[in-house]
Structure 1
C-alpha cells in the first residue's frame, strides 16, 4: 500500500465516522501539516454535487475567481477552526460524541415572514405561504398573482419589515427585485419619479436592479448612499454590526459616505469588490461575492468569522437571545451550513470542534426556550 492510498483510506474512514481514536488523532495531525490535501480533493470531487438553481439565479452565484468552485465545494464539506488548528469535516452523519455539547431542544429555522405598513399607518401581515409581493401601479399582489388583502396603492411611501426569523421578497414598481434578510426594513414609494428611484434600508437586502439609464437607483442606509443604474449587489447595514458592507455581484455601483463639513467620500465598486464603512472610514477590498449572498441561497457561509459575528446571524435567523457564559473571543470559523436546519444541527456542528459548547435555556421569560448560552 502506498502512502497516498493510506491517506485515501484514512480520509474515507473519517468521513464515514468509522475511524478509531488513534486514526482520528493521526488524521488531525496529518491534516494540520497539509499532507491530506490531495485525498480531501478526491473526496470533494466524489461527494460535491452542485445544487440546481433557477436560470434567473445562475448569474448571481458565480464565484468571482476561477478557483471559486473548489473553494465553495470545500466550504460545503469542511468546517475549519483556524485558531485551534483543527479541521472538522462536515457530514450529515456526524454528531457530537458527548451529550455535553448536544443541543436537544429543536428551534426551527426562519421562514417567509413579513409585514407591510401602508401610507395610512395600517399594518398588513403578509402570508408565510408566499415567497414575496409585487408592487403594481394600482395594487399589491403576491408573486403567484393573488391579491394582498384589499390594498390600493397611492402616491406615498410603504414599508416592508421582516422580523427576526423572517425573510421576504419584493418586486418594486420599476421591476427591481429585492430579497430582505431577517430583522430588516425597506421603505419604498408606490411610484418612482421619472429621474430617480430611491429606497431606504435598515438591515440586509440583496438587490437585482432593473436597468434605467435615465433614472439612477439609490439605496440609503444610516451610513451610506449606494447609486446604480442596473446591477446586482448586497447591502448589510445592521445597527448591531461594526461594519456596513456593500458587495457587488454584477455591474458597477458608487458608494458614498457623508463626511462632516466636507461633503462626502465616494468609492466605485467593480464586480467582486466589497466596500466597508467602519468607525467612519470607507474602504474597499476584493471578495468572493458568494459569501455575502449565501443567505439568499439558503446558506450560512463563514470565512474566518469570529464566533460573536456568527452568533449574531444565528440570533437573527432563529429569533433567539445569545448569552455568553465564558470568554470565547478569538475563535474563528470557516464553513458552510444550511439555513434550513433547526438550530440544534447548526450548534452541534460548531460544538463538534470541542472548543465551544452551547445550551438552550428553557427558563426564559417568554417561555419559548429561545436563549442560547455559549460556553467553553
Structure 2
C-alpha cells in the first residue's frame, strides 16, 4: 500500500482548493510521481453518486483519466491526467469518502498551528471577538466572566442567578479554552460552537455542542452533566472525554476516564475508559481505542491510526 506524506496531502489539498495559486509547471512536476497520481485519483473518484449536479463533467473526466492512465507515452499521460483530474475536482468541489485507510500512525506535522481565537455571544446578543489583541470584556459581565491570555474564559459561580446562556464559536484555525461556572473545563476545537448557561440553575448541568470539544467535568453527584449534540445526549458525573460532532461526519465520543451514558438512536449505551462510540445515521459501534489519539488536538498534536483519508483532509481544511 502506498504511504503518503503530510506534504503529499497538503499539496493535493492545494490543488483541490487553491489551484489558482499553483503554476501548471508545479502541478505537472508533482504529478510526475505515480503515487501522486494515485492519490489524486482516489480523491477524484470518491462518492461520485453524491455530486449529481456536475455528473456529466465528472463522468467525462473519469473516462479521460482512465484512458490516460493506460497510455504508453509518459509526457502525454501526465498532461491528460492533469486535465482530467482538474475536471473531476472541479465537479466535486470537496472531499468525500475514500475506501483505502491509513494504516499505522501518521502525525500530521504539516498542519499549520491554530491560535486562540473565538467569538463570544452574550445573553443580550452582544458579540465579543476574542483573540490575541482583544482581551477586555464588556463591563456588563465584569465579575462574572474573566478572560485570561493563557487560561481562556473563566466563569464565576453565581448561585441563584437566572439561567442566561452564552455561546462560544471558533472559526477555521481557531480554538479556545473555558472554565464553566461549576469548574468544568472545556477545550473547543476549530469550527465549533458551545452553548452553555452563565450559571447552572436547577438539578442538572446541560450544554449544547456543534463540532468538537474535550471536557473535564467537575464532579457533582447531585447535578449530572449533559452534553447535547445533534444525535447524542451524553450524561456524565465526573469524567474526561472528547466529543466530535461535525456536520456530515460520523459522531465520535471517546472516554478517557470516568463513565458516561449516551442516549442515541433510541438506545442507551455505557462507555468505559478507553472506549469510543461511533455513531452514524443508522448504526452504533463501540470499539476500544487509545484515547490519547483522539484528544491530542487540544495540545495541537494530531495522531491518525487506521482512519479514513477523508478525515485527515477534513481536519486539514479546519486548520
**TM-score tier after normalising by the smaller chain length:** 0.5 to 0.7
Which residue of structure 1 aligns with residue 55 of structure 2? none
CA RMSD of aligned residues (A): 3.5
- For residues 205 and 221 of structure 2, the distance between their equivalents in structure 1, rounded to whole angstroms, comes to 11
- For residues 219 and 193 of structure 2, the distance between their equivalents in structure 1, rounded to whole angstroms, comes to 23
Checking the alignment, whether the CA contact within 8 Å between 1:113 and 1:128 is kept in structure 2 is yes
Shift of 1:141: 0.7
Q: What CA deviation, in whole Å up to 9, does each residue of 1:101-156 have, x standing for no partner?
A: xxxxx99432111010011111100133699x9xx9942112369998xxx99741
- For residues 84 and 159 of structure 1, the distance between their equivalents in structure 2, rounded to whole angstroms, comes to 36
Which residue of structure 2 aligns with residue 191 of structure 1? 199
Checking the alignment, whether the CA contact within 8 Å between 2:151 and 2:177 is kept in structure 1 is no
- For residues 292 and 132 of structure 2, the distance between their equivalents in structure 1, rounded to whole angstroms, comes to 26
Q: Does 1:127 align with 2:131?
A: yes
Q: Does 1:235 align with 2:239?
A: no
- For residues 272 and 204 of structure 1, the distance between their equivalents in structure 2, rounded to whole angstroms, comes to 18
- For residues 190 and 252 of structure 1, the distance between their equivalents in structure 2, rounded to whole angstroms, comes to 25
Q: What CA deviation, in whole Å up to 9, does each residue of 1:294-348 have, x standing for no partner?
A: 211221111122322101000001xxxxxxxxxxxxxxxxxxxxxxxxxxxxxxx
Which residue of structure 1 aligns with residue 303 of structure 2? 301
Checking the alignment, whether the CA contact within 8 Å between 1:112 and 1:130 is kept in structure 2 is no
Given candidates 163, 167, 179, the residue that maps to 2:187 is 179
- For residues 171 and 271 of structure 2, the distance between their equivalents in structure 1, rounded to whole angstroms, comes to 30
Q: What does 1:119-268 align with in structure 2 at a 5 Å threshold?
A: 119-128=123-132, 138-143=143-148, 155-241=163-249, 243-257=250-264, 259=265, 264-268=266-270
Checking the alignment, whether the CA contact within 8 Å between 1:187 and 1:200 is kept in structure 2 is yes
Q: Which has the higher contact order (CA 8 A, sep 6+)?
A: 1
Structure 2 spans left out of the alignment, 5+ residues: 1-99
Q: TM-score, normalised by structure 1?
A: 0.50
- For residues 206 and 280 of structure 2, the distance between their equivalents in structure 1, rounded to whole angstroms, comes to 24
Shift of 1:282: 2.0
Name the CA shift for 1:88/1:276 in 2 (closer, same or farther; >3 Å). closer
- For residues 156 and 237 of structure 1, the distance between their equivalents in structure 2, rounded to whole angstroms, comes to 24
Q: What CA deviation, in whole Å up to 9, does each residue of 1:136-192 have, x standing for no partner?
A: 9942112369998xxx99741110000111000010010000000000000001111
Shift of 1:280: 2.5
- What's the secondary structure of 1:240's corresponding residue? coil
- What's the secondary structure of 2:182's corresponding residue? coil
More helix, by proportion: 2
Give the length in aligned residue pairs.
211
